[in-house]
């Protein structure tokens, strides 16, 4: 699936399929009502009496019973009530269908939303195998996923339209959303609640992988960052640990253990940087490090006025974090 597509009408999981079915029911019922209203309007206009300004007013119908009109109005009201009841019943059955997803052997993930990025924490297995990533959620196909949602600063809303509906992340509260991906692919997600200046640039991706591929990815994520062997990358590591980068980010296997910004332990394995703002390429990464506000004004990350040589070394080291 094209990761650029954000389409709620193409379902790739049972939760999204239920929502698409409900949308189709609403579309049919509302289209029928809209068409009926247009037909009634056209008939009323065509049957309305015609008169000129010189004709005297006709008051003969003021007190005359109009059973046909009363019958038509009553029929319309009854039809409208039945239509609303049908939509209510469809909504209730859809809600029940959403809750019937089996959560046996579910993958448990905790997602905390900040301005403007997503912290993703995997909690399956022993504490020693807990790890965090950012702006990408990896899940195995055919298995339920339960995501615990937390808001870090303001209200956010997690939405992966091809897999599930929306759910708010509210500071001080904990919510959950469950879904299942039936087909491998990359599914685009987005914050669906206005959360500040860079709301439009708060995206993420859900990578649905075959179970064996997901397990291989998980095992790789548990490991600390490999020490660099290239002299330029070694210099980049030393630079990272000596400047303000280490005050915000974590890289397991180094002295950088801060929690303010995204965990960068396996940063080079991610497709994008800055929550989907830019493809993860050396050029974009260098530009982002030097002046993140150029790409995402208002972001908390400060500019880093490094020399060209230092910037190249830092980018080289970050490129080894796979």
Task: Calculate the average pLDDT of the chain.
Answer: 91
- Give the model's pLDDT for residue 3: 47
Residues 205 and 242 in one domain: no
In terms of pLDDT, which residue wins out, 2 or 86?
A: 86
In terms of pLDDT, which residue wins out, 218 or 123?
A: 218
Cα(147)–Cα(142) distance, integer angstroms: 16
**Final residue of a structural domain among 222, 253, 286:** 222
How far are the Cα atoms of 10, 167, 189 from residue 159, in angstroms, in the given order?
14, 7, 5
Asked whether residue 26 is assigned to any structural domain, the reply reads: yes
In terms of pLDDT, which residue wins out, 47 or 171?
A: 171
Positive or negative, the Cα torsion across 122, 127, 129, 133? positive
pLDDT digits 0-9 by tens, 89-147 = 999 999 999 999 999 889 999 999 999 999 999 988 788 889 999 999 999 999 999 99
Asked whether residue 9 is assigned to any structural domain, the reply reads: no
Local structure of residue 250 (DSSP, 8 states): B
Mean pLDDT, to the nearest integer, of 261-267? 94
- Give the model's pLDDT for residue 16: 94
In the sheet that holds 166-169, the strands lie side by side as: 136-140, 203-209, 185-191, 156-159, 166-169
Phi-psi label, residue 230: left if phi above 0, alpha if psi -120 to 50, beta otherwise: beta
- Give the model's pLDDT for residue 67: 82
5: pLDDT confidence band, cut at 50, 70 and 90?
A: low
Total structural domains in the chain?
3
Asked whether residue 4 is assigned to any structural domain, the reply reads: no
Residues 209 and 161 in one domain: yes
117-121, 231-235, 242-246: range with lowest mean pLDDT: 242-246
Q: From the CA atom positions of the chain, what is the Rg in Å?
A: 28
Domain interval for residue 215: 107-222
281: three-class secondary structure by DSSP: coil
Asked whether residue 53 is assigned to any structural domain, the reply reads: no
């Amino acid at each position: 699936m094209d990761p650029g597509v954000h389409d709620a009408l193409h379902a790739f999981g049972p939760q999204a399929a239920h929502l698409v079915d409900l949308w189709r029911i609403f579309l049919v019922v509302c289209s029928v009502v809209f068409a009926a209203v247009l037909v009634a309007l056209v008939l009323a206009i065509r049957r309305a009496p015609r008169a000129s300004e010189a004709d005297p007013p006709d008051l003969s119908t003021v007190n005359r019973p109009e059973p046909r009109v009363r019958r038509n109005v009553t029929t319309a009201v009854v039809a409208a009530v039945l239509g609303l009841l049908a939509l209510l019943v469809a909504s209730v059955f859809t809600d029940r269908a959403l809750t019937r997803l089996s959560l046996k052997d579910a993958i448990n993930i905790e997602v905390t939303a900040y301005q403007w990025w997503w912290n993703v924490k995997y909690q399956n297995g022993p504490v020693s195998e807990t790890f965090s990533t950012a702006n990408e959620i990896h899940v195995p196909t055919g298995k339920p996923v339960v995501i615990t949602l937390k808001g870090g600063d303001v209200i956010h809303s997690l939405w992966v339209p091809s897999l599930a509906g929306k759910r708010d992340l509210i500071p001080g509260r904990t919510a959950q959303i469950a879904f299942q991906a039936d087909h491998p692919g990359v599914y685009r997600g987005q914050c669906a609640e206005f959360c500040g200046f860079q709301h439009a640039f708060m995206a993420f991706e859900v990578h649905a992988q075959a179970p064996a591929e997901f397990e291989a990815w998980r095992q790789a994520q548990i490991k600390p960052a490999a020490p660099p062997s290239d002299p330029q990358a070694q210099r980049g590591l030393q630079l990272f640990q000596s400047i303000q980068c280490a005050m915000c980010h974590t890289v397991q296997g180094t002295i950088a253990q801060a929690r303010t910004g995204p965990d960068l332990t396996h940063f080079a394995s991610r497709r994008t940087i800055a929550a989907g703002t830019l493809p993860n390429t050396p050029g974009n990464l260098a530009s982002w490090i030097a002046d993140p506000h150029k790409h995402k004004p208002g972001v908390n990350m400060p500019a880093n006025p490094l020399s060209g040589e230092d910037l190249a070394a830092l980018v080289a080291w970050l490129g080894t974090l796979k």
